[in-house]
Amino acid sequence: MTFREKIDRLVELIKVDTKDRYIKSNLMNILDDSQKVTAKWGKVYVNIVKGSSAFLMVEISTEIIYGHKAYGQVHKGHVYGTLDTIDEWYWGEYSPVRKSTLKNAEVRKQKVANKQLDREISKELEDLWGSREYKIQ
């Protein structure tokens, strides 16, 4: 796969993930040209632009994906893998997030929801039966 094909694939993934996030957040009414994703080629970096804002910068020589400080300024402290690891990231948020991190967050969220449900059921049972404890023999 050529470098240009990898960049095109990254741009497409960003579009798909952004649309997915907007659908999940019920924000489809504002998904328009302001969320258009394009690649602007420079001498050293390819600047990935989402809407009118810089989103990512890809170093041409190493294929490393960086965040940005300001339009056209790379932030080498924010590294989001390489063009070969783009499938490991979710690109729909304000900043890219590892998919494994998202899965762990969903598991934690479900555990919290389950604990809350357990508390609600315990409270309802206590209200129904009083505060007496029954032993099953």
- Predicted pLDDT of residue 41: 94
Do 129 and 62 fall within a single domain?
no
- Predicted pLDDT of residue 116: 74
Mean pLDDT of the chain: 81
- Predicted pLDDT of residue 2: 92
Instruction: For 21-46, write each residue's pLDDT tens digit.
Output: 877 777 766 656 557 889 999 999 99
Do 109 and 91 fall within a single domain?
no
Do 24 and 84 fall within a single domain?
yes
- Predicted pLDDT of residue 63: 94
- Predicted pLDDT of residue 32: 63
Q: What is the CATH number of the domain that holds 59?
A: 3.90.930
Do 46 and 103 fall within a single domain?
no
Do 21 and 44 fall within a single domain?
yes
Do 73 and 129 fall within a single domain?
no
- Predicted pLDDT of residue 83: 93
How far apart CA 137 and CA 84 sit, in angstroms, is 61
Q: Which domain holds residue 51?
A: 3-95
The β-bridge relationship of strands 45-50 and 64-70 is unpaired
- Predicted pLDDT of residue 80: 92
Instruction: For 69-79, write each residue's pLDDT tens digit.
Output: 887 789 999 99
Do 85 and 28 fall within a single domain?
yes
Do 70 and 120 fall within a single domain?
no
Beta bridge partners of 74: 68
Helix (H) / strand (E) containing 6: helix 3-24
Give the residue with greater pLDDT, 18 vs 109. 18
Share of the chain above pLDDT 90, in %: 36
Amino acid present at 1: M
Q: How many domains does the chain have?
A: 2
